[in-house]
Every structure is written in structure tokens, then in C-alpha cells.
Amino acid sequence: MSDQPLRIGIAGLGTVGCGVVKSLQAHGALLAGQTGREVEITAVCARDKTRDRGLELDGIAWFDDARQLAGSNSIDVFVELIGGEGGMALESVEAALASGRSVVTANKALLARHGLHLARLAEKTGATLNFEAAAAGAVPIVKTLRESLAGNDIKRIYGIMNGTCNYILTRMEAEGRDFGEILADAQKLGYAEADPTADIGGFDTAHKLALLTSLAFGTEVDLDSIYIEGIERISAADLKAADELGYRIKLLGVAVKSDTGIEQRVHPTMVPKNSAIAEIDGVFNAVMVEGDF
């Protein structure tokens, strides 16, 4: 085992950030046993130091500025969980990569807008940019596209990329209830945000699709060129009609390569009941990749 621990700096102590801290602290011994190196949180950054987050932060340095944390010699890896496609999130990730520090982020909006720029910066300085958590929930699609399918000529990638929308559609279909009712339930249960626009409007799916398109086809993606339609106008009657025809309705992100370029779109889609994608219910995601082998 290495004598030197891997020192982690975490920027952003919201729900996800606090979860990461708790997970690393709870599973530190397991990680050390599996990787041969201890993992230690040495610094954190958030807006309000006085807020009680239910975390044990004794002995951990506190930074008020994420950019300073990103460039600090007290960390080896910078974890960005601030959120947003620009501002402090972008500046802190740039600072970390510019100093040669590897970055872990779940920020799909940031990567959809600036992913290529950040990837080039990481390549220039020898750092790594890791973002498995930014696309399709727990589906390990980023590593799969980067490594396992790197030799494939991918023709098409599509899937369910937003658990909130899939949960709503699943319950609407099963219970015969309309969109507004199920959305309200989802918000009470914590499956939907207080402002659910990014999810139900298809924008979250578009961000994830842009990331996967860039990886699958090795191209820069113009996020604004993606056709986006959410699920707000889907009714229980629509789902019943689809069922009678042998289909289910799912919100899909789709990218297809052709001789004329790459088409990207997000919209509710009727999928055959006997298809694999139709079997995905609740908050779960799934991504399908079609290549030449």
C-alpha cells in the first residue's frame, strides 16, 4: 500500500456533496483495501461555514473560494459539486486542471457547454477529467464509451436519461392519473425538484445526450442545436392509447450519425412493449448503443 494518501478536496456541500463526504468517510477502509491507497478528504468549500450539515469535518481545511481550493497544494483531486454551467464551477475546474490536478464532477450542464475545452486543458496539463456520474445515473456508460467501445464505429445512441421523467410516466401509465398529480407526488417524495423545469422540460436529458454524443462520435456538440421536447403535455389518455397499440411512452435522448452529420433530439417516444428500453420503469435509466460490432 502507498504511504501517501490520495488527498481529496470537495467544492459544494449540498445534498450530493454531503453524500460524497459521508460515503468516503464510511468506506475509507474498503477503498484503501481495494485500491492500495488511503483516500482522505483534506479540504472542503461551501458558502456557509456555520450551517449544520450533519458532517464530521474536524481536521478538514475550509475554503471560502472554490478556485483557491482547486489550486491548493493540500489536495490531489478536486471534486466539483457546485453546479451550474459557468461561473465558479467553470473557473474552479479550470484552475484545478491548469495546475495539473485531476477533477471529478457530476456537472452535466458544465460539461455540455464546456466539455471539449476542459478535456483539452486536462490533456495539456496531464490531468484527468472524470464525469461518470454526470450521465444516466448509475449506468456506467461514460467508461464504456471511452474504453470498451472505443474501437466501434457507433451509429446510434439512445436511452432514458432522466429518472424523474421515467418515474412520472411509469406512474401515470400504471395508475391512469394525469401529469400534474404525479409530479406533485414526485416532488413530495424527493424524486422531482421544487422547480422541475430542467427535468420535465427535457433539458437535463439534453445535457446528458450532448455528453454522450461527444464521447460516442468524437465530436464537439452544439447544445443549442438539439431539438428538445419534454413530457409536460403527455396525458394519461396518451399513455392508454399507446398501450392499446402495443407501445409505451418514454422520454428518450437520441443521437444518430448519418452521411449528412449527427442528428440529436429529446422527446417523448412510443417504444414497442417487447423492446428492452420499454422494460425500464421508475427512476431507472438505460442507454442503448448501436455500432458496427
CB 235 within 8 A of CB 178: yes
Tell me how crowded residue 262 is: count the other CB atoms within 10 A of its CB: 16
Give the SS3 label for residue 125: helix
Torsion angle, alpha carbons of 53, 58, 61, 65, to 10: 20
Q: C-alpha cell of 109? A: 450542464
Beta strand 77-80 pairing with 61-63: unpaired
CB 70 within 8 A of CB 93: yes
Query: Who contacts 11 (Cβ-Cβ below 8 Å, separation ≥6)?
Result: 17, 44, 45, 46, 63, 66, 69, 70, 78, 79, 80, 81, 82, 92
CB 164 within 8 A of CB 200: yes
Question: Counting beta carbons within 10 angstroms of the beta carbon of residue 25, is it exposed (0 to 12), middle (13 to 18) or buried (19 or more)?
Answer: middle
Catalytic residue among 49, 143, 208, 250: 208
Q: Is 208 a catalytic residue?
A: yes
List, in sequence order, every beta strand (DSSP E) within 119-182.
129-130, 156-160
Give the SS3 label for residue 137: coil
Q: What is residue 135's DSSP assignment?
A: S
Question: Counting beta carbons within 10 angstroms of the beta carbon of residue 53, is it exposed (0 to 12), middle (13 to 18) or buried (19 or more)?
Answer: middle
Residues noted as catalytic = 208
